[in-house]
Amino acid sequence: MKINLDYRSKILETLNAVADEGGKELTTGFNENTALLESGLDSLDFAIVVARLERELGFDPFSQSDQPIYPHTFQDLIDVYTNHQPA
């Protein structure tokens, strides 16, 4: 199993790249407790983030779950990837 920090770094890198490409910045003080809706990114940006992570990590945790997943904070998003990674 990968360590949370591996996913944290990759997700944060992807969030920053998508923000930069869209001429945006993550909110000041962005951390694990930051609400995704208050991160400075919009729903299209998050769709791009998830698509890129699927391509780079090789899996989409949102399609692997039987139940809908709605991460609210950055930590929730890290947990989604950590808890739904392929065996």
Q: Which tens digits make up the pLDDT trace of 8-60?
A: 999 999 999 999 999 999 999 999 999 999 999 999 999 999 999 999 999 99
Whether 2 is covered by a domain: the verdict is no
Q: How many domains does the chain have?
A: 1
For residue 74, count other CB atoms closer than 10 A to its CB: 21
Determine the structural domain holding residue 45 and report its residue range: 7-84
Whether 41 is covered by a domain: the verdict is yes
Whether 1 is covered by a domain: the verdict is no
pLDDT for 2 beyond 80: no
pLDDT for 1 beyond 90: no
pLDDT for 4 beyond 60: no
Q: Give pTM, 2 decimals.
A: 0.90
CATH code of the domain covering residue 27 = 1.10.1200
The secondary structure of the chain, three-state, reads CCCHHHHHHHHHHHHHHHHHHCCCCCCCCCCCCCEHHHCCCCHHHHHHHHHHHHHHHCCCHHHHCCCCCCCCEHHHHHHHHHHCCCC
